[in-house]
Amino acid sequence: MIIEKIKLTNFRNYKKIDLTFNKGLNLFYGSNGSGKTNLAEAIYFLSLTKSFRTNNELNLINLEENDFALINAYIEKGKNYKKIDVFISKNGKKISLDNKNITRISELSNEVNILYFLPRDVNLFKESPKVRRNFFNIAISKQFKEYLKLLNSYEKILKNRNELLKEENVDLKLLDVYTDQLISYSKNIYKYRKDYFLKLNVFLPDIYKKISMKQSLIHLVYLPFVNDLENYNSIAKEKYKEALENDLKNKRTTIGIHLEDFYILLDKKNITLCGSQGENRMAVLSLKLVPYFLINEKENKPIIILDDVLSELDEINKTNLLNFLKTFEQVFITSTYKIDQKDITNYLIKNNSVLKEETYD
């Protein structure tokens, strides 16, 4: 999977640009504030029609020029081509795939899979468990379509249960019905999560070694609500009984799969507590890249976006990372400087424009 062409109209600082991209490694370079991340943001928007920087989509519109923004892109997937159009205005957004309007984001994310790393991601293991769960929920939903449906169903039941707990006189029989439904969905969500974590741990050590050049042992640890598939229902039921008094007191569901977490062990030590900033950066970057290797079909391999990933790396780690990334189908990196290397296509970002430069030979 590669983005062959993208056209932006009134998107952030770009009034109108029309670009073609190469396979392999594409580097956007320019001074700070020139619009490198804006371009990466537009590419990312093609996957989930969400920004990784703002929840207010009106911020994406160049209001000096007009009251709308437009992204047009052509995606190559093997021998097939897909055309994506995203129209953003104060009235919302309209998305079309091959000139047909779509209403479910899942339809688009099934066609365009994008993995990304941002500077703030280095703190993934220091953030709240909710941030980590969101990260994994998105990653797993891209791997398994059914997972997102299960998660949405679970969230609906959880909302109903929490609303019931807020009532003055709680109907305990109805609460028990909601609890059984939560357990049913939880068991299936647990299956997907456990399977996904097992797969991640197959590839994670090798990726970490390649980009860090260290022989450290790295392992992702999953902390499930219940860690027994065979006896899942009975164990979960007992836990909800034990938590009933606490749920009633706090007027919310205080236990469950929606509160699960994970952490990473580096040389058998929790990286959150013992890891350096550099080790955290390499661990998160490795984790972000693992899903690329979980997909066998070349035409479905994710597109990679790495924003300002090189700034905190020493020369050895930069070289290792760049050499590793050159083996991927398509990668976009932002940087403050140009890199003259074989198999890297440079794009100069300056004065609200983008200049594609000749590939280094």
Instruction: Tell me the per-residue pLDDT of 68-99, one tens digit each, with 9 for 90 and over.
Output: 999 999 999 888 888 999 999 988 889 998 88
Q: Greater confidence, 277 or 198?
A: 198
Is the torsion defined by CA of 32, 38, 43, 49 positive or negative?
A: positive
pLDDT for position 53? 85
Say if residues 153 and 324 touch (Cβ distance below 8 Å): no
| Per-residue model confidence as pLDDT tens digits over 237-281 | 999 999 999 999 999 999 999 999 999 999 999 988 888 888 888
Tokens 């970057």 locate to: 285
- Whether pLDDT at 361 is above 70: no
Q: What span, in angstroms and rounded, lies between the C-alpha atoms of 159 and 174?
A: 13
Angle, helices 315-325 vs 172-212, to 10°: value is 110
Domains and CATH numbers, the chain: 1-113+295-361 (3.40.50.300), 128-293 (1.20.1050.90)
pLDDT for position 74? 94
Query: Which residues pair with residue 304 across a beta bridge?
Result: 115, 331
Tokens 């058998």 locate to: 268
- Whether pLDDT at 22 is above 70: yes
pLDDT for position 359? 63
- Considering the entire predicted model, what is its pTM? 0.88
- Whether pLDDT at 168 is above 60: yes
| Per-residue model confidence as pLDDT tens digits over 104-153 | 776 777 778 899 998 888 889 888 999 999 999 988 988 888 998 999 99
pLDDT for position 39? 94
- Whether pLDDT at 319 is above 80: yes
